[in-house]
Amino acid sequence: MEALPLATAVIVGGPVLALGGVTLLFLKNYINDQKRRSTSLTLPPEVPGLPVIGNLLQLKEKKPHKTFAKWAETYGPVFSIRTGANTMVVLNSNDVAKEAMVTRYSSLSTRKLSNALKILTSDKSIVAMCDYNEYYKTIKRHILTSTLGSNAQKRHHVHRDIMINNITQQFHTLVELHPSEAVNFRNVFQSELFGLSLKQAIGKDVESIYVEELGAVLSRKEIFEILVIDPMEGAIEVDWRDFFPYLKWIPNKGFEKRIQQMYSHREAVMKALIKEHMKRIASGEEINCYLDYLVSEKNTLSEQQILMLLWEAIIESSDTTAVVTEWAMYELSRNPEKQNRLYQDIQNICGYDKITEEKLCHLPYLSAVFHETLRRHSPVPIVPLRYAHEDAQLGGYHIPAGSEIAINIYGCNMDKKIWDSPEEWNPERFLDGKGDLMELHKTMAFGGGKRVCAGALQAMLISCVTIARLVQDFKWRLKDGEEENVDTLGLTNTKLNPLLAMMEPRN
């Protein structure tokens, strides 16, 4: 091989290595088959696919949660697929999903990240994507103590009140100036939510910032795109080498360039934000925020870890809460009778007073609206992948070590055996008198077990108060033609097109 010209070596060596990879794949399958024979349990049903590539072509639309739910109707709630060289076990049942997240957690606690996510998360440096270990326990404790836990949420109460008042005031202004025009819900809500995330993370909303590495002053909108929009889009970028790890030596320059640019731009903006924060501290300004807390822990965290954890607090506060709130307002706008019921409930409890967080526990229908939206429009349709680092059992099946585990939250919440008419948005299904109406995990939208979402409480507070205030202040209806506008995009279940609604101020 060394005597051949480089081009010839690549032409000859590529197929040779690929053949070697396929041989290893068959060897791996043989070993797994021998392990399975040693147990009385069977493997999950397998969805038929093609040689080598498996089921990849059947997943090309980038909405695997819907495809998985359809397959569950044929193959049952637990089945396996092939994604190139990988075996993925898909769970579409509440019971089996809870078994994976709680009972069998010790065997299934390791994250399996795509190449895009490995880069964007600095190889599992953030709470949501790292493995369950001492580092995870430490950084989750940090964000709960300083930002997202119940005591921290009480400290940030004032920021949320200001945000809600700003949102309602902007909508009142838009309706007053343009009473016959539809209002873009996302433009107002997402911007204010981003401002809240910045206040909690760095102690201050930011209108613009000079970024030295980029040689430019970036507007608030540009900061939002770099810190939130671009990484969310990058997270679903497909690198074909994810499916054929034995060919990872082959460059994928287009993919690498796109993801690396997202990474470097985000790094540059985050460093600029941290630098400005340090200048304010040096000038004697007192700021109580997540960055202050992280800096106080610098003996146990590297600069890169501090940067990543700070970024995580910004992006996670800015995205999933916006997704569920927008879908709730869409559903209320297209269901006037349910909107009226919610309004009457709020009036009965609050009268002419504005809704506050303290009143949430007295509004069961509001809680039902929130939970039903999480069920029907789960912000994260599939839990970030895990893999079995040892042989395990799930749903009565044998799960070989090395199998990827996909928990399809969408499929669980569309299960006709659990939910009547699951395609319908019906808050009344959560008013059956069973359980605590403010319980956060009925639909598994926030995960469960040891990896339950740290931001669950904040998401509920922000979303529920926003929904209630907007229904208190306005009658909502969809702009003509909006009712069927339900396509989604992205890693989260974001509405493809922003909600456009007609709003009428209430007396």
Please check whether residue 11 is in contact with residue 376, taking contact to mean a CB–CB distance below 8 angstroms: no
How far apart are alpha carbons 461 and 32 in whole angstroms?
47
Please indicate if the annotation marks 130 as binding a ligand. no
Q: Can you tell me which residue has the tokens 């598994």?
A: 444
* Tokens of residue 477, six digits: 């209806």
Q: Please, what is the Cα angle at 309 between 306 and 312, to 5 degrees? A: 150
Which residues on adjacent β-strands are paired with residue 208?
219
Strands 386-387 and 78-83: unpaired
Those residues with Cβ within 8 angstroms of residue 316's Cβ, 6 or more apart along the chain or in another chain = 128, 455
Strands 183-184 and 500-505: antiparallel
How far apart are alpha carbons 53 and 402 in whole angstroms?
18
Report the chain's C-alpha Rg in angstroms.
Answer: 24
Nearest to 339 by CA among 366, 359, 373, 375: 366
What's 148's DSSP letter? I
Start-to-end CA distance of the chain, whole Å, equals 83
Q: Can you tell me which residue has the tokens 């995580």?
A: 312
How far apart are alpha carbons 318 and 193 in whole angstroms?
6
What long-range pairs does 52-55 form, CB within 8 A, spacing at least 24? Answer: 52/22, 52/84, 53/82, 53/84, 53/243, 54/81, 54/82, 54/83, 54/84, 55/81, 55/82, 55/83
Phi, psi of 124 (to 5 degrees): 70, 40
**How many C-beta atoms lie closer than 10 Å to residue 423's C-beta?**
9
Give me the amino acid identity at 30: Y
- What does each C-alpha distance from 121 to 130, 142, 147, 297, 319 come to in angstroms? 9, 18, 20, 20, 16
What's 147's DSSP letter? I
Where is the binding site, in residues?
453
| Known binding-site residue numbers for heme | 453
